[in-house]
Structure 1
Amino acid sequence: ACDVFSIRAQTASPPAAATAAPAQTANAPGAPQHFGRSAGNGPAAATGLWDYFWRGLTENYFNFAGRARRKEYWGFCLFWTIALVVVVGAGLFIDDTMGDPDGSELPVVTVGLCGIFLLATALPWIGLNVRRLHDIGLTGWLFLVVFLPTIGWLIILVFALIPTQARENQWGPVPTGVGI
């Protein structure tokens, strides 16, 4: 597609400084290879908390590679919790509206909706935790500590609070937006 800005860019004369130095391309031999969000030449992805949550449920649904900074992790957790509260509220409202005809007092709709929500968001959440561990320089397999009774969740919480490594590591470059 051709727009006004690209036509202007093609017809405008380049500044003198731009013509003096040859342009370097990202694919030049010896240039560092970039992965993840830093790799694309397109527009940068939005870094709002909602954007991280939505991207976690769509683009990163089954993504266990790369890095996830603290803002991405906590943004996902915030909106996941809000969504869970909405799902529980809707389920309780529906259960209350339907009444309890058989006297079982089990909120069937609430339990069903919560189960579906948890199953639908389990893979993105695990992937996010693995990428978060990569971001602090640890292997994603450490996520398995979550299965340790009582202390597993606390260990994952500590990992989630550790700042991003301010250098490139084996899982990719520093995520966009992290000050070095």
Structure 2
Amino acid sequence: MRGEVLHYDEAQGFGFITGADGNRYTFARENLRRDTVIAKGALVEFLPASGQARDVFSIRAQAASPAGAAPGASTAPPKPAAASAAPQPQHFGRLAEGGAVHDSGLPGYFWRGVTRNYINFAERARRKEFWAYCLFWTVSFILVGLVGALADQTIGNFNDGNGPIVMVGVWGLFVLATFLPWLGLIVRRLHDIGLTGWLVLLILVPTFGTLAIIVFGLIPTQGHENQWGPVPQGVRV
């Protein structure tokens, strides 16, 4: 597949490619063919495999002048017919001033957390996304509890001495339904500050784990691309 290099960090040995299919692929130094020089904006060919680009090589050599050109004739390469349809470079973070920033307000972060990002343990999550999810998860938890309490009141559980059976039940279902989104959000927040997502296991440690997650949620976004992706759109660095 043909693509364009969005970013390559020579020091850390990883980068990103936008493929002709519109998807973004990661690649590492070991995925490059020998003696291949990669720079931002370079056109490359690669083999896509589960979101990763393999066997990457530059196709700049194909821009050479046509064979058999007359002496003295212009050596400028002909413009490919499909050049206008080539994918344009994408910019992220502070550089995305003219692009669409995926920030539809605080409720939008929570909605994407329980839909598109339901089991997303990759990429990065900025502080605003983390705390917006926390806020609206708490609001939703309270509302679900109120609905359960009204149901208990209607069927007479409080009068019969049975207790808030429905309220406890719907709370339990809500927590189970949002457990994976919570884990994914914490992992992406850890990625955003340059830490491994395995630190999410700290939540198993009583008290200390909760405090650690709160601290992780307060740390500013890393102002550069890292191995988990580019700076989240909308971040001022």
Bin the TM-score by the shorter chain.
0.7 to 0.9
Distance, in Å, in 2 between the alignment partners of 1:142 and 1:62 is 17
- Given candidates 153, 160, 167, the residue that maps to 1:110 is 167
More helix by share: 1
1:66 to 1:31, Cα distance in 2 relative to 1, 3 A = closer
| Residue pair 1:137, 1:165 contacting (<8 A) in 2 also | yes
Contact 1:56 1:124 in 2 (8 A): yes
- The match for 1:54 is 111
For the residues of structure 2 that align with 1:52 and 1:38, how far apart are their CA atoms? 21
* Aligned-CA RMSD value: 2.5
SS of the residue corresponding to residue 27 of structure 1 reads strand
Residue 27 of structure 1, CA deviation: 3.3
> Which residue is equivalent to 1:27?
3
Contact 1:66–1:171 (CA under 8 A) maintained in structure 2: yes
Q: Deviations over 1:81-104 (max 9, x none)?
A: 111010001111111121138944
Residues of 2 paired with 1:109 and 1:149: CA distance? Answer: 28
CA gap 1:31/1:98 in 2 versus in 1, 3 angstroms: closer
What is the CA–CA distance in structure 2 between the aligned matches of 1:98 and 1:110, rounded to whole Å?
Answer: 12
Determine the C-alpha separation between the residues in 2 that align with 1:134 and 1:104: 48
Match of 1:78 among 130, 135, 151: 135
Given that residues 38 and 175 in structure 1 are in contact (C-alpha distance below 8 angstroms), is that contact kept between their aligned partners in structure 2? no
Aligned amino acid, residue 179 of structure 1: R
| 1:119-175 superposed Cα distances (whole Å, 9 cap, x missing partner) | 100000100000000000000000101111221100111111111111111111100
Partner SS, residue 114 of structure 1: helix
Q: 2:204 matched to 1:139?
A: no
State whether structure 2 residue 213 is matched by structure 1 residue 156: yes
Which segments of structure 1 move beyond 6 Å, counting only runs of 4 or more? 36-39
Identity across the alignment (%)? 53
Greater relative contact order, per chain length (Cα 8 Å cut-off, separation 6+): 1
Q: Unaligned stretches of 5+ in structure 2?
A: 8-15, 18-23, 26-89, 93-98
Do the aligned partners of 2:101 and 2:234 also contact (CA within 8 Å) in 1? no
In the superposition, the TM-score normalised over structure 2's length comes to 0.59
User: Which of 139, 148, 165 is 1:91 aligned to?
Assistant: 148
